[in-house]
Amino acid sequence: MPVGTAGTVKGIRFEELESPDLDARIILGNTYHLWLRPGIEAIEACGGLHNFIGWNRAMLTDSGGFQVWSLGELRKITEEGTEFRSHIDGQLCFLSPEISMQVQAALGAEIAMAFDECAPGKATHDEARRSMELTLRWAKRSREAFDVAQVANLRSFAPQDDEAETSTQVNNLRYPQALFGIIQGASHLDLRRQSLERTVEVGFSGYAIGGLSVGEEKPVMFEVIEEVAPRMPGDKPRYLMGVGTPEDLIAAVAHGVDMFDCVLPTRNGRNGQAFTSLGKLNIKNARYLEDQRPLDESCRCSVCRRHSRAFLRHLFLSGEMLGSILLTHHNLAFYLDTMRTVRQAIRSGQFSKFRREFTEHLTSGWE
């Protein structure tokens, strides 16, 4: 899922995301950022997040838990929720499972996330246990508040001539929302197993592995994924939050993960780094001064069909915003096409072969 934190995927228009070149079917928005600015009242007045931003495809909203955790000393976590200072104006704010569910119901994304607390990657066992237990209590409160919010936001609307006499609509959408639970426990596998078991007992439409890529070593991250992902319900979506590089995604898919979000393709693109079938390419390097090849000769995106590395390097060194836009487009195309190829390989029973060849190409690097 491309990340659209504040209601926009940085550096690219929705028309491009919807084009055959990218064809993104779902994007991510963030409860914390949208709640603070422009505010839920403004978004509700505009008919929900889809109408407000002009995106008619699916959306997932994060609960805001990770963003509040990342504020560090600017926040105070209690049983009731989290008190924090807004990073925008310093105003004192309070976010709880109930408020997060109300906000996400008002935003109206197809998928909402339970409110959680994220322990640091190197948290001790006792610290991780306390955080996990709090997340589990918040998961139950999120589930209860979500169900109430769904009923409260269910409203009748006037049917069209060709529709039934009565219809219902939720949050300006055609369907009720789904709520995903989040598995925590830092790097401690026993806590991760407990978190999974008890989160499943609460009951959600999908399950996410949270609290990774927050400072732990990559081998530790994959120990957690390898331990947890295969144990997650096979009939529900399995979501790995905030990860990662193309090779991370492929490795996680091998363990059973279905869904991902990450800022890397857009953030790295804005800073001149392209993801390609042969690994990462830093377009600002002097070696590309007169290089007339595309970013990736195996890529069929519109950027690679039209522009050379030499031109893209010129844009970045000249401070032209088009450079960031074009690399963002290419990176998203590469990620989305990679995941389409993964799905095709799984359907055809060729995933192991695809994974081996994909990894070999990535590690071959640039000449």
Q: How far apart are the C-alpha atoms of 226 and 119, rounded to whole Å?
A: 19
261 in active site: yes
Max distance between CA atoms of the chain, in angstroms, equals: 67
Q: State which H helix or E strand residue 3 sits in.
A: none
Provide Rg for the chain, Cα atoms.
Answer: 21
Q: How far apart are CA 183 and CA 192, in angstroms?
A: 7
Catalytic residue among 21, 116, 248, 261: 261
Secondary structure E strands in 96-216: 111-113, 154-156, 168-170, 178-183, 206-209
Task: Output the 3-class SS for 189-229.
Answer: HHHHHHHHHHHHHHCCCEEEECCCCCCCCHHHHHHHHHHHH
Check if 116 is active-site: no
Structure tokens at 138: 């918040």
Written as six digits, the tokens of 239 are 């979501």
The two tokens of residue 346 are 């799984």
Cα dist from 162 to 62, 166, 173, whole Å? 36, 11, 18
- How many alpha carbons lie under 13 Å from residue 319 in its C-beta half-sphere? 0
Which residue among the candidates 21, 62, 116, 337 is catalytic per the annotation? 62
Residue positions annotated with a catalytic role: 62, 261
